[in-house]
Amino acid sequence: METFNPFSLKGKTILITGASSGIGRAMAISCSKMGGTIIISGRNKGRLDETLSLMEGNGHIVLPADLTKETELTNMVSRLPKLDGIIHCAGVGSRVFCKEISIKDFENVMRPNFEAPVLLQSEILRQKKLNKASSIVFIASRAADSPSIGNAMYSASKGAIISYAKCLGLELAIRQIRVNCICPAMVWTNLIIQDGFSKAEMEEAQKKYPLKRYGQPEDIANLAIYLLSDASSWMTGSCVDITGGGEGTLV
């Protein structure tokens, strides 16, 4: 008799963007261990292949694409099978003072962090690639509600995706499709070292968190598994903070 597991992803096909490193890579690996068939996307095929080599199970698909380019985005969606879950994880960090923000900063930050996932989601819906009762997860950030110096563009991009996700959840509820956001505080990835902060400073700063550490990508992946699984079938329109007890994004 098979053991009951409400968090199983067996039989589910899940798209994960930004899967070439960091949180996205951890999610791809963890979701594969839970039995899902995973489609991983990112700009760098070599790094996606590295992710694939760390995943368990068979049938996973690598679809390289630069989602800020309309043609690549559309072509990628056309190659997708029907999906039961999506994790919008692709994005970039940014640190620029408000008085120095330029048009280029909007393009460099808002395009990958907000425009690309919104247009990707629209194209997926347009091409009818999403099954009924699916789950959509956006990786946002505590930065949306926790201001820090030089973080205005990044914070704004994450705040925008949260607002969008809440509206999307209302529109898709009629099909029992759930839409939720994960809002991590600091997580040890390649994005964590921003201009002006050394690794040593970050290691010291993490001790101010109640749990005395920043998150690991696997911590976020485990929460994503819950949101993708049937265990969260009555959960939509939520933003879940995962912070190690810290209120800010840089404590």
Phi/psi of residue 9, nearest 5 degrees = -110, 15
Q: Helices marked H in 55-101 — which ranges?
A: 70-78
Comparing C-alpha atoms, which of 138, 89, 153 is closest to residue 240? 138
Whether 199 has a pLDDT exceeding 90, the answer reads no
Residue 196, pLDDT > 70, answer: no
Quickly state the pLDDT bin for 192 (edges 50, 70, 90).
low
Q: How far, CA to CA in Å, does 67 sit from each of 43, 123, 149? A: 8, 11, 29
Residue from 82, 46, 39, 81 nearest 62 by CA: 39
**CB contact set of 139 (below 8 Å; sequence gap of 6+):** 18, 23, 87, 88, 89, 91, 181, 182, 184, 220
In this structure, the number of other CB atoms found within 10 A of the CB of residue 137 comes to 27
Residue located via tokens 């810290």: 246
At 80, is the pLDDT very low, low, confident or very high (cuts 50, 70, 90)? Answer: very high
pLDDT score of 248 more than 80: no
Strand partners, 65: none
The pLDDT of residue 210 is: 94
In percent, how much of the chain has pLDDT > 70? 95
Instruction: Write the burial class of residue 204 (CB in 10 Å: 0-12 exposed, 13-18 middle, 19+ buried).
Output: exposed
Q: Which residue has the tokens 């039989």?
A: 11
Say if residue 170 is exposed, middle or buried (CB neighbours under 10 Å; 0-12, 13-18, 19+): exposed
Q: Is the pLDDT reported for residue 12 higher than 70?
A: yes
Residue 194's pLDDT is 55
184, pLDDT greater than 70: yes
Is residue 1 over pLDDT 80?
no
Q: Of 185, 190, 160, 239, whose CA–CA distance to 92 is shortest?
A: 190
pTM: 0.95
90 near 112, Cβ under 8 Å?
yes
- Active-site residue set: 154
Residue 51's pLDDT band, with cuts at 50, 70 and 90, is very high
Burial class (CB in 10 A: 0-12, 13-18, 19+), 232: buried
142-150 average pLDDT score: 92
Distance CA 62, CA 41 (A): 6
Determine how β-strand 61-64 pairs with β-strand 178-184. unpaired
Please work out, in degrees rounded to the nearest 5, the angle formed at the alpha carbon of residue 31 by the alpha carbons of 26 and 36.
Answer: 150
What pLDDT, in 10s, does the model give residues 205-218?
Answer: 899 999 999 999 99
CA distance 162 to 114: 10
Give domain 13-242's CATH superfamily.
Answer: NAD(P)-binding Rossmann-like Domain (3.40.50.720)
> Which three-class secondary structure state does DSSP give residue 7?
coil
Q: Which residues pair with 13 in a beta bridge?
A: 37
Q: In the predicted model, what is the mean pLDDT of the chain?
A: 94
Per-domain residue ranges of the chain: 13-242
